[in-house]
Structure 1
């Protein structure tokens, strides 16, 4: 009986130690992550040359560089993109204005608060409706690209 009690206490002690180690590892992992903080007043906007006024503010990497990026994008009201595709998925959150995409002849509107994840190599038109500029948040595992496609 004494051995059963001792074994039970030993198992309980090991379980508690294991839980403590796991919690400490989780805290250490959380501490290892640097703070990423971009209040709106500190975003550094730049206009993308040759885009008709599209502006970006990178918060991780660079939308025009190599590798992963996260960026805010301002699309001028009424600005349309030509028929094109992207070589990788393009997740987008619409923060302001009304963005749209035309896919397989169907126009889909994305008002502020919307999210879409455009699959890689899906030809489409896109742009910002007239009225307010569109503010988007986009991110990808690698660089941004816009590949023109001939109309069907």
Structure 2
């Protein structure tokens, strides 16, 4: 029965429907129940609210230790909170000596259209809570959108 309930909860999460734990409308998703979708680059997304490809969304995001993204832009603003690991988010013109390392509990905000790169600089994976105010895209600088 527990397996069936977890499968149903995962289905609701993937379709963006709320999983309510009680009659008062409180929605709870224990960490072990998160459903992670891993990209070919190794970045994992666990949907919390919304479909990231269609609309604004909230998700847990997990990056492998040492991952460095190419410089890119996004069409939507990003708002994040580091849960674990250590990350750097910078524009292309910041010298490595000037990079600020963010740790658990630190907040970051990246405006839509700002060319930047992100890196997980810890020896363990980085996990963030992410809200994006529009649909997900990832456009490396120098490329054009289809």
TM-score (norm 1): 0.70
What per-residue deviation string (whole Å, max 9, x for no partner) do you get for residues 50-79 of structure 1?
x4211111011122x201211001000001
Q: Which runs of 5+ in 1 are unaligned?
A: 1-31
What per-residue deviation string (whole Å, max 9, x for no partner) do you get for residues 13-36 of structure 1?
xxxxxxxxxxxxxxxxxxx98322
Q: Which protein has greater RCO, CA pairs closer than 8 Å, 6+ apart?
A: 2
Give 4+ residue runs of structure 1 displaced > 4 Å after superposition. Answer: none
Q: What is residue 111 of structure 2 aligned with on the other side?
A: 119
Which structure dedicates a bigger proportion of its chain to strand? 1
- Secondary structure of 1:82's match? coil
Q: Which runs of 5+ in 2 are unaligned?
A: 1-22
What is the CA RMSD across the aligned residues, in angstroms?
2.0
Task: Indicate if the aligned counterparts of 1:98 and 1:109 stay in contact, CA closer than 8 A.
Answer: yes
Q: Is 1:39 paired with 2:39?
A: no
Number of aligned residue pairs: give it.
Answer: 117
Q: Distance in 2 between matches of 1:116 and 1:94?
A: 8
TM-score (norm 2): 0.73
Q: Is 1:96 paired with 2:73?
A: no
